A and B are shown apart, each in its own frame.
Chain A
Amino acid sequence: MTETAVRAGAAVALSGLRKRFGEVQAVDGIDLVISPGEVVALLGPNGAGKSTTVDMVLGLSTPDGGRISVFGKAPREAVVAGQISAMLQSGALLDDATVAEAVGLIAALHRKPMPVAKALAQAGITDLADRRCTKLSGGQKQRVRFALALVCEPDLLVLDEPTVAMDVETRRAFWQQMRAYTDTGRTVLFATHYLDEAEEYADRVVLMRSGRIVADGSVAQVRAAVSGRTLRAVVPGALDLELPGVRSVEQRGDQITLTCTDSDAAVRALLARYPNAHDIEITALGLEEAFLTLTGEDNR
């Protein structure tokens, strides 16, 4: 299939996407194609440009440059057609309406909404229908936002940091519900800064940093990369370290940093060869390191 054909059939296709806020280049040239049915995590630290990207995909803000298509349409057209919907990060709940009323209001605006009761059931908040939106916990509010997003039966659901206000238990329950939804073949794009969430629920993980995509891979690739360890030590007189189980070496004076595939083998060999090595520290790879290892890309 040609590049154009892939884009034409894509749920989301971004090319050369840019957005600047004053001095800050929030999104700095993003190319991304998401196929229908994919569950994609947009991962990155705060300020990476995730929310800005999400806003542009939803048509809530206009890019400075580049192109966006959602199911082959402009974002706003896809919104009007009820094909894309989103769970927004914060706010967005009326203080003087009940849960059922808020969902009913949004349903009334869509062309082919699902019944309000069904949306509440799918979001697991049937019992909250008559509660005021202000009298809910953070996790409950997020479920209401989920129901607001579901009610138009979108083909693509965008979630901007969906579990940010939830405790561990609620998070798990939320993702179970989401699973049930994605199992019906819907496309989901969710922004998060929790690696474990991305790992567990996404088919594909896209890492953003400073407005760019720095890595893009399958969950299996991420998992493999994350299983590595970093070994740091002070090794007086170390020269040309060649150790088993080590993928790469970084050395600053006596201070070495080893990226390991097998840190146990590496530390045994290190101590055998350099008994005076000290301040040894072995840590699991951080999110960014994992990704950089994964792609062999280092633009620091």
Chain B
Amino acid sequence: MNTRFLALELRRAMRNGRYLIFTVVVPSVMFLLFVSLYGGGEGTFPNGLPVTTSLMMNMALFGVMAGPLSIGARIAVERGLGWQRQLRLTPLTGSGYLFTKGALSMLVALPGILLVCVIGAVEGVRMDVPQWLGVLATLWLGAIPFVLLGIVIGLIASPDGMQAITGLASMVFGLLGGIWIPADVAPDWLATLMKALPTYWVKQLTQAPFVSGVDVEQALLVISLWVAGLSLIAVRRYRAQS
């Protein structure tokens, strides 16, 4: 991997106003909003998790989705602009390009997670250091399926259609994934659908150290299937284009 190229790409992404607002600021603002809606987050949810802790995890997860999806969408724009043609006149390989975009997505997912967690700590989320590290690591690694989803969208969507597709994806994966509403209150058929999405299981994994009854094995299985499936589509799609 070309780190200098990655660093320049990162600087470009970070300067993008839309990225900063949607992936860094919005999750934190939503978090604060929900905390005040729930009356300062004093109570606990039926699963035993404090309200503030649970909301913090959900909103960080929202940020985890938004960052990588926006980077993936840039791929569609770069394709449309002909920038990829320019890149093909350099030693950068196709897989090098996709890996760079993947690494970039992972990096841009971080600030949103960190900011929400810092605000969480200020708002009274109490965990010991290993637990904090565990939550941060799970959320961050949980970005992987969304990084791949972003790349797949970037390779499939046209620059014009990309916005709509990205919006739809964050609706489906966010809303149905249980970020905004818990699967426990959904009717059975909907709950089944929700449990097929990676979002639900990343959330489960994040909560696992704090609540009982999380099926870690199934979580890893579902997430792995998504990762494998999306990787396959990305590789095929990329080959078809070059």
Contacts and interface: CB of A to CB of B under 8 A. Distances in A.
A108 B91 contact: no
Q: Chain B: interface residue count, which band?
A: 20 to 34
A60 B91 CA distance: 13
A32 B206 CA distance: 63
B90 A152 contact: yes
29 contacts: A58-B89, A60-B85, A60-B88, A60-B89, A79-B88, A79-B91, A88-B89, A90-B82, A91-B85, A92-B81, A92-B82, A93-B81, A94-B83, A96-B16, A101-B8, A104-B8, A105-B5, A105-B8, A105-B9, A105-B12, A106-B86, A108-B2, A108-B4, A108-B5, A109-B87, A109-B92, A110-B90, A148-B86, A149-B89
The 8 closest A-B pairs by CB, nearest first: A91-B82, A109-B90, A108-B4, A108-B5, A92-B86, A92-B82, A80-B91, A109-B92
Contact of B90 (A79, A91, A93, A97): A79
B78 interface: yes
A101 B82 contact: no
Given A58-B89, A79-B89, A111-B91, A88 B8 contact: no
A3 to B, nearest CB: 30
A83 B58 CA distance: 51
Main SS at interface, chain A:
loop
Interface residues of A, number: 28
A292 to B, nearest CB: 35
A101 B77 CA distance: 17
Contacts of B82: 88, 90-92
Contacts, number: 66
Q: Which of B4, B85, B89 has the most CB of A within 10 A?
A: B89
A106 B12 contact: no
A60 B15 CA distance: 31
A88 B85 contact: yes
B90 A92 contact: no
Contacts of A152: 90
A96 B4 CA distance: 18
A171 to B, nearest CB: 22
A136 to B, nearest CB: 14
A114 to B, nearest CB: 14
A267 interface: no
Contact of A93 (B11, B16, B83, B92): B83
A95 B76 CA distance: 13
Contacts of B81: 91-95
